[in-house]
Structure 1
């Protein structure tokens, strides 16, 4: 059962998203009921997995309007979340949400992953999050350098893309491996969702990620 304080924050976030999206395009889903299911509940599919990771610090790359990172930050006040997106109008919205909900465990970053990674934040995150941003062999290069050894990447993907097969070289190159593919169904619409659980088990070469745009043009 969802505790009342978290539920109230979630409702406030949902209402603000629908209102903000009416004048600033953040997401193609504009109906409140659809947004609740396909954004908010979809994000919460990761909660049980996050509970098992003893996570203290998580990063969500390409978070958009805050999915899944902002939703999970509401439910996990003891975890530090970095929410990153390269689109300024989205990070402005996220900063507004952070202030509206008084979320002290959220840091909003307007940047590309290739530009944000430094010696101070390389291999410092327990968990990486990403929902549907690029193919898996591309997003791995952005994400894995941020994750510490024995940390996890929980990649949310659509069913039927079969991107895991294309990601073998990227996984081997970056020092990671797929350990489980979780399958879920959204409660009302029944849409199937995949969460590819990836373990980082080796150090990542300092040359990754490559400069901006290279991973997309020439995936590992």
Structure 2
């Protein structure tokens, strides 16, 4: 996906990007590939592929949820900033917090935010299980999101405790999402969530399947969740 095609396809979906925003994506690409030579941020480095599989794929969540307001978003395990930094560029009023367990990635994100001149962003080095117990962050966010981090029963335990009541957890998944949804029903119930919608589409050009899964936060999460670090992955709900 070339830069102009990226801009045109988003415009067709009602997301108009300025020249300044296009330059931010271009700077993001340059910074990502420069840092990727020093540390493993992404296996995808060819420019058209980054625009399709990282930038477009990240912003695609906005086809199914309204980000045109100053929402408070937490992105769990964002790695190199996906999906929340491409979303932040497209929707500057978002307030974005990223939590990641690897400090090197936090260093990259701080440098990236400086280069892109992003305001209203915070990058926190922590395990998601510990972060979810922190009173400063627990049930404080309108949206918790994650993209390709872990299976849905695990992600639910890491993300739903961070969402305020009447907010939502959004998981971005590839092929096979329905199986994960089936496996996560118990986790949703235990953690105060309720499946709201599943939207499935295909990426342009390469035609691979993507699903946007929205889980509404209908009740407070019981205090025992998330469990101690490592447990959600070893013993999914």
Aligned length: 220
Partner of 2:161: 145
Per-residue Cα deviation, 1:138-164 (whole angstroms, up to 9, x for no partner): 010010000011101110011124100
Once the two structures are superposed, the pairs formed by residues 36-47 of structure 1 within 5 Å of their partners are 36-47=51-62
Q: Does structure 2 retain, via aligned residues, the 8 Å contact 1:18–1:32?
A: no
Cα distance between partner residues in 1 of 2:200 and 2:19: 28
Match status 1:106 vs 2:151: no
* Among 51, 65, 83, the residue aligned to 2:98: 83
Shift >6 Å, 4+ stretches: none
Cα distance between partner residues in 2 of 1:5 and 1:108: 23
Cα distance between partner residues in 1 of 2:121 and 2:98: 7
CA RMSD of aligned residues (A): 1.4
Runs (5+) with no aligned partner, structure 1: none
Partner of 1:174: 191
Match status 1:121 vs 2:137: yes
Q: Does structure 2 retain, via aligned residues, the 8 Å contact 1:158–1:193?
A: yes
Partner of 1:131: 147
Q: SS where residue 16 of structure 1 aligns?
A: helix
Partner of 1:23: 38
Match status 1:8 vs 2:7: no
Q: Displacement of 1:49 after TM fit? A: 3.2
Runs (5+) with no aligned partner, structure 2: 1-10, 12-16
User: Cα gap change, 1:207/1:53 in structure 2, threshold over 3 Å: closer, same or farther?
Assistant: farther
Cα distance between partner residues in 2 of 1:38 and 1:59: 21
Cα distance between partner residues in 1 of 2:98 and 2:136: 17
Partner of 2:107: 92
Partner of 1:64: 79
Match status 1:160 vs 2:212: no
Q: Does structure 2 retain, via aligned residues, the 8 Å contact 1:84–1:109?
A: yes
* Among 215, 219, 226, the residue aligned to 1:198: 215
So what's the TM-score if we normalise by structure 2? 0.88
Per-residue Cα deviation, 1:35-84 (whole angstroms, up to 9, x for no partner): 11111110010123342685520000000100001111112221110011
Per-residue Cα deviation, 1:175-194 (whole angstroms, up to 9, x for no partner): 11111111122122121101
* Among 192, 195, 203, the residue aligned to 1:186: 203
